[in-house]
Structure 1
Amino acid sequence: MTILYVVIALIVGLVAGFFLARKYMETYLKKNPPINEDMLRMMMMQMGQKPSEKKIRQMAQSMKNQAQK
């Protein structure tokens, strides 16, 4: 009987841990997006383009909107 309780507690712990970790990662990525304006600027410069502030802000906003969907 004790072994059954241990197995059930382990399964419940794994499921709860999975959902808690998933929620934590979602909130972390919302607060710290993986790509910011500085990274966009560097990527455009590496591709040989002269980025304007307007274009960078448009790209950042479109990426932010896409991430919310």
Structure 2
Amino acid sequence: MDTWIWVVIVIVALIGGVVIGFFAARQYMMKYLKENPPINEQMLRMMMAQMGRKPSEKQVKQMMNQMNKMQNK
């Protein structure tokens, strides 16, 4: 076979691998986030209770706003 055919086969395989890898990684991340959701208000209250604090609703909202700001940066 000619060399150019091998070059085409390698390029097609590389592009196929990138596409399949992208969708596999996307599916894995969606499954991971579904099984392990990010911190919500309930988890925040539980963590603060474990530290010996009884947070007010205002404190919980402030913490959630701070966490959302940090996540968006």
Which of structures 1 and 2 has the bigger CA Rg? 2
65 and 17 in structure 1: CA distance in 2 versus 1, 3 angstrom threshold = farther
* Identical pairs, percent: 53
**2:28 is the counterpart of 1:38:** no
- Residue number in structure 2 paired with 1:5: 8
Corresponding residue pairs, total:
63
1:57 is aligned to: 61
SS of 2:38's equivalent in the other structure is coil
Measure how far apart 1:36 and its partner are. 0.7
Considering Cα pairs closer than 8 Å and 6+ residues apart, tell me whether 1 or 2 has the greater RCO. 1
SS in 2 for 1:9: helix
Where in structure 2 are there 5+ consecutive unaligned residues? none
Q: TM-score when scaled to structure 1?
A: 0.67
RMSD: 2.8
The structural deviation recorded for 1:8 is 1.2
Deviations 1:33-66 (A, max 9, x none): 6111111011001111111110011000110011
TM-score scaled by length of structure 2: 0.64
